[in-house]
Amino acid sequence: MDILNDILERSKAIEELNDIDPKIFKSKYFNKKPVVLRGFAKDWGATKKWDFDFLLNLESDKDIDLLSGNFIQDDNRYKKSSFKDYIQKLKDAEINKDNFKDYLTTLDIFKTYPHLKEDIDFSIFEGLNAVNDVTAWIGPAGTISGFHADTGKNMYAQVKGRKMFILASTKFNSKMYPSSKYINGAVASKVNINDIIPEDFPKLNDVEFIKVILEPGDVLHVPSKWWHYVQSLDTSISISDFGFSKFEMFSIKAIDYLHRRGYYKSKNCFCCN
């Protein structure tokens, strides 16, 4: 049973701002509550220039990993491609309206193309963290990341297309049915709102959700460990800046080290076959 529409009907709107002072952002919103900065990235080079032709004309190429479907709650694994081959297939699918489902997540695009850093500006956020991890998310309409909670704080910029977020506070942790499966830097929910038996998750009825649709140029701040569900409404390019304290980053790396060497949830995870 798909209860997405039911969740949306009972969700309230996320607070929105059309302008923000860095001091106010730090004191009132940073890692405290979600907020949408409407049009914050509208003048970025990324928002103005990045499309599939722009990406295809970048000088170098690289191997990438792709996903398909809801990685958080579905049982699927990564598949290999080259960056430009994927972008070309995604462009062709958009033009021909093909049913194309592969998507690219957490691409370290600025490692491969460092000059593209000039096209973004997360300075309102970056100085508040000891470590920042900036990645790109690219995919067709209909891609879904089911409910999960990231360790890092997040500034999520929408560059191309529209994307829908549904969020829930950390105070509803037990009611979001955390999964025991290991996922690097996050906690997954057992709740798949697109395919659910509601009677199996009765406490979900007590969760207070908030929602937003991001347009190109909008930026969403998601505090640490807030639950969120994400769905692309169009073919989409997004840029995410995860911020961490030194302790958060050390903990993530230490746990991942133990996991990959078989000492922590080695057979109960999202990353291993």
Total domain count for the chain?
1
Q: What percent of the chain is modeled with pLDDT above 90?
A: 80
DSSP, res 10 = T
Query: Does the pLDDT at position 23 exceed 90?
Result: yes
Residue 153 near residue 129, CB atoms below 8 Å = yes
In a domain, 249, yes or no: no
In a domain, 256, yes or no: no
pLDDT tens per residue across span 261-270:
999 998 888 7
In a domain, 82, yes or no: yes
Q: How far is CA 70 from the centre of its chain?
A: 12
Helices (H), the chain: 4-9, 22-24, 45-49, 52-56, 83-96, 109-112, 123-126, 246-260
pLDDT value at residue 273: 45
CATH of the domain at 239: 2.60.120.650
pLDDT value at residue 77: 64
In a domain, 206, yes or no: yes
In a domain, 254, yes or no: no
Alpha-carbon separation of residue 39 from 19, 20, 210, 218 (angstroms): 8, 11, 20, 5
In a domain, 259, yes or no: no
- Domain holding 199, by residue range, is 4-244
pLDDT tens per residue across span 166-181:
999 999 999 999 999 8
